[in-house]
Structure formats: C-alpha cells, structure tokens
Structure 1
Amino acid sequence: MTGRGAVTDPLERALRALRAARAPSSDYDLNPGVVLPEGRRLRAAAVLVPVREGRVILTKRSSKLRHHPGQIAFPGGKQDAGDPDITATALREAEEEIGLDQRSVEVLGFLPRHETVTGFDVTPVLARVHGAFEPRAEQGEVDEVFDVPLAHLLELGRYRVEKRRWRGDWRRYYAVPYGPYYIWGATARILRNLADLAEPE
C-alpha cells in the first residue's frame, strides 16, 4: 500500500518542481574556471518538455544541423519574431519537428532557464500530452522521435558527470543514458534541474 500523502505519479513530482525556488542553469555549471563576458547577448529560445503517459518525448537531431548535430534534444528552437511569447515558440517548434498537435498539449509551467555554449537562452516549457500521438519527424531536422520514462529521469542516481575536449579545453557536463540513447549536455542539464527540484516519493 502507498502511505498517506505519498506521490506515486512521477508527473506529480515534476509539477511540484514548478513551485520550487529556481535559478537559471548553464552549460558552464560544471566548469567554474570559465569566465563569461559581461554584457553578452543571448538569443531567446524554447524547448517543449512533453510528457505523455509517464514518458518524456525526445528527439535525435539530424547530424546535418549546424547546432548540436546528432544529439538527443527536446523539440524546440529559437524564438521567431512572429511568436507572441516563448510558450508559443515551444509549441510551434514541437508541431514542426515532431508533428505534435498544439490542441493536445496542456502547458503546465516553466523549468529553470538554461544558457547554452552556442549562445541561446532556453526556456523549457513542461507540458502534458493528451490523447493519441503519432510522431512525424521533420525531414532534415529530426532523425528519430522516441520516449523515456519520466521516473528514470527523476532518479538522481541515473546522472553522471563526464567530460570531453571542446575548443581546446576539457568541458564537464551531465549525462543520463537510457538504453541506446546517450542523453547529455543541455538536455541532460535541463532534466537534472527537474530531478533536483522534484520532491522524492
């Protein structure tokens, strides 16, 4: 039996994270020696963190893309002038990249903003997906659409810190592998934020 007050639905744990105190994160969090220039200008962007039936929908980006080629990512991209707000950016990009109908998406809130090494200020939009969903990968942008159990991503023990050479220096980053998928970098950092903030069962 489940104890009184216990949270068994991993999405409910995630929703509690939206009410927690939050500070922005960045790709430089694990690299304290990096000095970021004052007055740097970041480009606004958004990603959708879509949860359907306890699983988070992710993409494998095309290896031909300029930014983050071949990496695991949320559907998302830079904010366009025609987007009324950052939420609209996330919803538009998800519809374009994976064929997610905006009418089936319930926006739940925002996770901490994240700065990437490629100069983007990313707002993650947490959402619940209702009804059936048949992914339709955008040709030239997305190689694959798949999902990962949210419960897996909320376990802090699944995360590890790794490093690789980038622009001549060692760069440390979070990774949270799942099966054949190597989830790392900005995507893993955003998920780690969620795992850090979500209250344990």
Structure 2
Amino acid sequence: MPEAFAPLLAALARPGRPSSDYDLNPGTVLPENRKLRPAGVLAAFEETEAGLRLYLTKRASHLRHHPGQIAFPGGKVDPGDAGPVAAALREAEEEIGLPRTAVEILGTLEPHETVTGFMVTPVIARLTASFTPRPEAGEVDEIFTVPFSHLTPASFHVEARRWRGGMRSYYVAPFGPYYIWGATARILRGLTDRLGP
C-alpha cells in the first residue's frame, strides 16, 4: 500500500460515531418504525504528485432529487447488487466512468441516515489505475477532485436553513466554487474526525 494512504488506513482502524442528517438537530423526533432504504457511495482517493485527491460530482441541475448538489458517486442498492459496496462500485462506473477493476476497497464508515430515507454506507477506496472521468449524461454535470488536505476541522462549519416548517442545521465544507453540504459534508466530517489531530 502506498505510504500516502497510511492516514486513511489509520482512520479506518479507529472507531467512528453514528452519523445522520439529524446530528446537529437533537430535537428531531424520528418514527421508530421508519424503513430506510440501503445505499452506498464511493469515496475514491487518487494519489497524485500533489498528494491524495478525492473524486466528487456535481449533480445535474434538472434532477428531481438533490439537483446541482455536490455528491459522492453512488446510489441505492438495486436487486442485483450484493450490498452497499457493490452498489457504490456500480454507480461510480455509471456516473463517472470509474471501472471497478481500477478500485481497491480500503473499508467503510458508519452508515449515514439521510432525511430522504436512505441508510448510506460510505465506501473508502483507492484508485489502483488511472482512468478518464466521464460524467453520466443527464445525471452528472461535472466531476472534480478535492485535495485530501481539505479534510481538516477548519474546513467545516455549521449553517442552517428552514426545512419542513423548522430550522435545520447542517455541515458545510466549501471548496472553491463548490458548496459541499448536507450528507456529503457530514460523511466527510465523520472521516475527518477519525483522522485525528
């Protein structure tokens, strides 16, 4: 394993905490019998001369769900998937053209519950071969990378907006022109917390 990935491996070896879109909203009362749909997202890191970089996408602006938002490649577990990891790999191949043969799975973070009713498993991986990013037509407007150095507590802050009649707080981690927020930012914050000082 390349030395550059040592911090990620160390982070995955540390215990994490539960993760959800409700973490910053402790007063939220959730129904006990709610059914969450399983999903997987791929946090794929590539080693470059400048250090590790993480692949993210900007979703197409016309989509019904989360238009224009910054997201990991990924999606819900389909009947043909063996689980969240398989779903993450399949979706990454579809959304950004990343062949699953060019990926090595390093581990997973705690599943993250979203306000849209998904239980998302973040899959941490490294690229083992170069590839040509190819955005899925109609689904992805842009593919970009964020430096590993962006994953520090100083990159994150909390904002709030009105949602379903009340105020909901959430993490944001802006990077250049990209407004990373919501579930994506919360998952990245969970990884950042594991990285330690």
For Structure 1 versus Structure 2, the TM-score category normalised by the shorter chain is: over 0.9
Q: SS in structure 2 opposite 1:69?
A: coil
CA distance in 1: counterparts of 2:95 and 2:164, whole angstroms: 29
Whether 1:16 and 2:10 are equivalent positions in the alignment is: yes
| Cα shift readout 1:41-90 (whole Å, capped 9, x = no counterpart) | 00000000000010000000112222211100000000000001221111
In 2, distance between residues paired with 1:62 and 1:93?
15
Which of 167, 176, 180 is the matching residue for 2:177?
Answer: 180
What's 2:105 paired with? 107
Aligned equivalents of 1:171 and 1:98: distance in 2? 31
Q: How does 1:126-165 map to 2 (within 5 A)?
A: 126-153=124-151, 155-165=152-162
Query: Which residue identity does 2:157 align to in structure 1?
Result: R
CA contact (8 A) 1:98 1:138 kept: yes
Instruction: Return 5+ residue gaps in structure 1 as ranges.
Output: 1-7
- 1:44 alignment counterpart: 38
Residue pair 1:15, 1:198 contacting (<8 A) in 2 also: no
Structure 2 unaligned segments of length 5 or more: list them.
none
Kept in 1, the 8 Å contact 2:103–2:129? The answer is no
The Cα of 1:24 is off from its aligned counterpart by: 2.3
Indicate the SS of the match to 2:56. Answer: strand
Alpha-carbon offset, residue 131 of structure 1:
2.2
Partner of 2:66: 68
Given that residues 163 and 170 in structure 1 are in contact (C-alpha distance below 8 angstroms), is that contact kept between their aligned partners in structure 2?
yes
User: Is the 1:16–1:199 Cα contact (8 Å) retained in structure 2?
Assistant: no
The equivalent position to 1:35 in structure 2, one of 15, 29, 36, is: 29
TM-score by length of 1: 0.92
Give me the TM-score of the superposition, normalised by structure 2. Answer: 0.94
Deviation at 1:35, TM superposition (A): 0.5
The count of corresponding residues between Structure 1 and Structure 2 is: 191
Determine if contact 1:46/1:76 at 8 Å carries over to the other structure.
yes
Once residues 191 and 98 of structure 1 are traced to their aligned partners in structure 2, the CA distance between those partners, rounded to angstroms, is: 19
1:91-129 Cα deviation digits (max 9, x unpaired): 000000000011110000001110000000000000001
State the shift of 1:149 in Å: 0.2
Q: Which amino acid aligns with 2:27?
A: G
Which portions of structure 1, spanning 4 or more consecutive aligned residues, are displaced by more than 4 angstroms? none
Contact preservation (8 Å) 2:41, 2:120: yes
Take 2:107 and 2:60, find their aligned partners in 1: how far apart are those partners? 28
Secondary structure at 1:67's aligned position in 2? Answer: coil
- Cα root mean square deviation, aligned: 1.1
Percent of pairs identical after alignment?
62
Q: Output the CA distance in 2 between the equivalents of 1:117 and 1:149.
A: 28
